[in-house]
Amino acid sequence: MRTWAPSLALVSPLAAATIVLAALAIGERTGRPLFAVDAARNSAEAVALGDAAAVVRFLQAGEDPQRVYPLRPEAISSSVLRATTLQAAVLSRRVEMVILLDHAGTLREPALRQELACLAADVNQPGIAVVLVPSGADCMPGAALKRWLDRSRPEE
């Protein structure tokens, strides 16, 4: 036993790592992933988590980016639990996601761009506001944020 002790000390952590990785791979192959955080459940969550590929997939599957979706607390924050896909992009402060959604044709209405630009200004994201309305949005401070809060409040 004494002579095998060094070999066991060497092999044990390496074999353990291989077993864990193999278990992960087998779990994924069989559709029962271990340790994995749940993937985004809708386009708003995908936006908030920065998963651009999932955003494109949800949109291709026909999700409405102007619909209000539930968000898990860890997606943006515990105070942002409902938002549209577009609002989620602004509230999660992801300018490239806003550009992606714009390119996907989800921001064609000037009024919608204006509203989101004001929301961006309210959450102190002037870079996003400029992307949405390059000439500068005409906003009443705090109003867009209040409208989002009113709309995103869960129905009683």
Binding region for another protein (CB under 8 A) out of 2-10, 80-88, 137-145, 147-155: 2-10
Beta bridge partners of 41: none
Q: How far is the CB of 135 from another protein (least distance, A)?
A: 18
Binding region for another protein (CB under 8 A) out of 32-40, 76-84, 109-117, 133-141: 32-40
Q: What is the DSSP letter of 77?
A: B
Cβ neighbours, 10 Å, residue 49: 21
Binders of another protein among residues 75 to 134 (CB under 8 A) are 96, 99-100, 102-104
- Does position 28 interact with another protein (CB under 8 A)? The reply is yes
**CA-based diameter of the chain, in Å?**
79
Q: Are 89 and 112 in contact (CB under 8 A)?
A: no
List helix spans (H) across 30-123.
43-48, 52-60, 85-91, 95-103, 110-122
* Of positions 41, 57, 72, 93, contacts another protein by CB under 8 A: 57
Give whichever of 25 and 149 is closer to another protein, judged by the CB atom.
25
Give whichever of 62 and 154 is closer to another protein, judged by the CB atom.
62
**Which has the closest alpha carbon to 116: 70, 92, 17?**
92
* Of positions 18, 66, 77, 78, contacts another protein by CB under 8 A: 18
Q: Which amino acid is at 150?
A: D
List the structure tokens of 145: 């944020």
Residues within the interface to another protein (CB under 8 A): 2-3, 5-7, 9-18, 20-22, 24-25, 28-29, 33, 35-37, 39, 50-57, 96, 99-100, 102-104
